[in-house]
Amino acid sequence: MMVTLHDIRAAQARLHGISVRTPLLEWTGAADSRRLYLKLENLQPIGAFKLRGAYNKVASLSAEERGRGVISYSSGNHAQGVAYAARALGVKAIIVMPGNAPKNKLEATAALGAEVVTVGPSSEERRLRAEELAAEHGYVIVPPYNDEKIIAGQGTVGLEILEDLPTVETVLVPVGGGGLISGVSAAIKLSNPKVKVIGVEPEVAGDAQASLRAGHIVSIPAEQVTQTLADGLRTQSIGAINFEHIRAYVDDIVTVNEDEIRQAMHALSGNSRTVAEPSGAVATAAFLFHARELPLAKIHIAVISGGNIDPAMLRELRKS
């Protein structure tokens, strides 16, 4: 069940020429002695890291499985990742999305050629609908996070971080269902155990932190997690495979409040290369507002996991 360094390197080879090797950008927004570099996953073709795991999973399917078509469930960025991967590989894709997903994410998924099925706001609701449709039509499920191939694909972010900045001391990673942090933490800890890996999630959707503290998976009601601006992190619980990776490789998980997310987005929006959607800004928010909860370190990296911000929200941010 645990992803190995070999798995992540195999994913990196598979993704060559598909995903972008995103740059690290030193960010000068911090008025203290610490240094922060941003890992710009918002510069991927779909505007988010999710392409890595989605492509690795779909590309790993047999010809027979690809012929059946794939189905997934997502609030937006994984939807686009699966749609992009399926189009590149000539595979039919159906995506179950919440009807309240940002309009730009719904439209982008459909524009990539996927058939979109909408349901209510609960992450459980979309998972169950995808499972029903898969059972009915024989589609292969491409889960958003609880899958070894997905985790290995996301782990390529961690390999790039260490290759480009081997002196990094602390890596801050957004946490939703746990796919990104599972892969990044495995890649980093299996390569250099001295580097600290810290997860970051919204306070109102703090299920990963609660799970790590409790020693078992804690679930949060849909009506609570939907209160966060960070639509990509509204999962009610982390995946079982993800939890094993988090317990093995993640040093801590901190939470940020909604105002801190907004302030981090505002700070990042000043440069077109660093524009982040709410989910993509949480790691930067932790650096800016939760220094006391982070390990003592000078060189930090925050993963900007996505930049698919609603245009109206971006206009509002830039006015303020």
Contact (Cβ atoms closer than 8 angstroms) between residue 78 and residue 72: yes
Beta bridge partners of 255: 201
19 is catalytic: no
What is the SS3 assignment for 162-175?
HHHCCCCCEEEEEC
* Kind of pairing between the strands at 35-40 and 70-73: unpaired
Closest of 287, 177, 277 to residue 229, by C-alpha = 277
Active-site option among 72, 269, 279, 305: 305
Active-site option among 50, 149, 189, 196: 50
C-alpha 315, offset from chain centre: 24
* Rounded-to-integer distance, Cα 186 and Cα 241, Å: 12
* Rounded-to-integer distance, Cα 181 and Cα 49, Å: 11
Other Cβ atoms within 10 Å of 27 Cβ, number: 20
Radius of gyration, CA atoms only, the chain: 18
Contact (Cβ atoms closer than 8 angstroms) between residue 282 and residue 200: yes
149 is catalytic: no
**CA distance readout (Å), 23 to 14, 120, 237:** 19, 36, 31
Task: Considering only the C-alpha atoms of the chain, give the largest distance between any 2 of them, rounded to a whole number of Å.
Answer: 57
Give the catalytic positions in this structure. Answer: 50, 305
